[in-house]
Amino acid sequence: MLTLPFDESVVMTESQLCRKYVRENEEQKTAKKVESCAKQIVSHGKNIKRTPEEETEQEEEEEDKDEEDENGLPRRRGPRKKKMTKIRIERIKIRRVEANARERGRMHGLNDALDNLRKVVPCYSKTQKLSKIETLRLAKNYIWALSEILRIGKRPDLLTFVQNLCKGLSQPTTNLVAGCLQLNARSFLMGQSGEAVHHSRSPYNSIYPPYHSPELSTPPGHGSLDNSKTGKPYNYCNAYESFYESTSPECTSPQFEGPLSPPSMNYNGIFSLKQEEALDYGKNYNYGMHYCAVPGRGPLGQSSMFRLPTDSHFPYDFHLRSQSLAMQDELNAVFHN
DNA sequence: TAGGCCATCTGGTCCT
DNA sequence: AGGACCAGATGGCCTA
């Protein structure tokens, strides 16, 4: 019946520790409540000089004798309604208090699991926590994006990756993700014609040449999505489909076509790929969360981005061989402020 | 001050 | 009977 989670104590965060402290206080309060209820029952039993068991038996005997209902009609068959005596009410109260404590604990477990989920999705921040719903949405997008990478066998560019992550997320969360990646969130905006607007000033620009889209470039310093001017909410779903000609994660789950190994988690809760070659390139290169996206050399929005031949040799294309571990650290720092 | 988010309480349902 | 799970209600806190 009880399903215990795996031992998460080793990854307990400050917030979890704080919550644990609060929890312990609550447990003490609950214990006091139960104790007081129990005392009431005992005192009640003393007053009437009968034990609760005797009380119950007595009640049942009385109920057996009570063959007529309040209208004087013969008693119907079926489960009898037990009288709500004081002692029974107190018992119900105790059960309720205990049930509340269990429910609280259950919700705490759920929140702990959510905290752990927050740690393995991009943009984990101790100071600015994602809400529950946003965490779930981002996690879903993240899984979907990684699945797409596995399915296609090639890295998308950073901007595309972030766009996928942000589908369906609220504007503040989108801004947060953009901020984490030091991307200008405006670069997510698509032109009216559905053309991608991109000019990202990302950490990767220092390694790879930026996209060449001078006609679409946006002045720097606009760090937030601003849909108020158009009056229309930005629809990432459309953007996505214009890129990939595929269903968006908002619509369907990815179709796995091959026996790909799912991403595994390392001790940090970071996704990494199960691949033997990784050893050749040093120390389990992490992907995904520590996504070391490299902008494609072509223009963003190039629909061939995810349309590689399906017989491409995954995971060989997958290695980020040219990336240094130092760069990985830098990117990790970006994702985990 | 309204709205979002959250924790908690509560009663109902299902299952063991 | 009792525990797990769920969803609705409620009130507190925070922020734009």
Amino acid at A112: D
Residue A205 CA to nucleotide C2 C1', Å?
Answer: 61
Which nucleotide, over all strands, has the C1' atom closest to the CA of A131? B5
Tokens found for residue A148: 């797409």
pLDDT tens-digit readout, A209-224 = 222 222 222 322 233 3
d(CA A27, CA A33): 10
Give backbone dihedrals phi and psi of A265, rounded to 5 degrees, phi first. -110, 135
pTM above 0.75, yes or no: no
* Range ranked top by mean pLDDT from A14-18, A105-109, A190-194: A105-109
| Predicted pLDDT of residue A123 | 77
Q: What is the pLDDT of residues A231-242, one digit of tens each?
A: 333 333 333 333
| Predicted confidence (pLDDT) per residue in A107-163, tens digit | 888 888 888 888 888 877 777 788 888 889 889 888 998 998 899 898 888 888 888
- A115 CA – C6 C1', rounded, Å: 21
Distance A244 CA to B6 C1' (A): 37
| Contact between residue A128 and residue A111 where contact means Cβ atoms under 8 Å apart | no
Q: Kindly report the CA angle at A105 between A101 and A110, in degrees rounded to 5?
A: 150
pLDDT band at residue A87 under the 50/70/90 scheme: confident
Mark the nucleotides of strand B covered by protein, meaning any atom under 7 Å from a CB. Answer: 4-12, 16
Q: What mean pLDDT value characterizes chain A?
A: 53
Nearest-nucleotide field for A3 (CA, C1'): C4
In terms of Cα–Cα distance, which of A300, A294, A299, A298 is closest to A320?
A294
Token pair recorded at residue A87: 């002692």
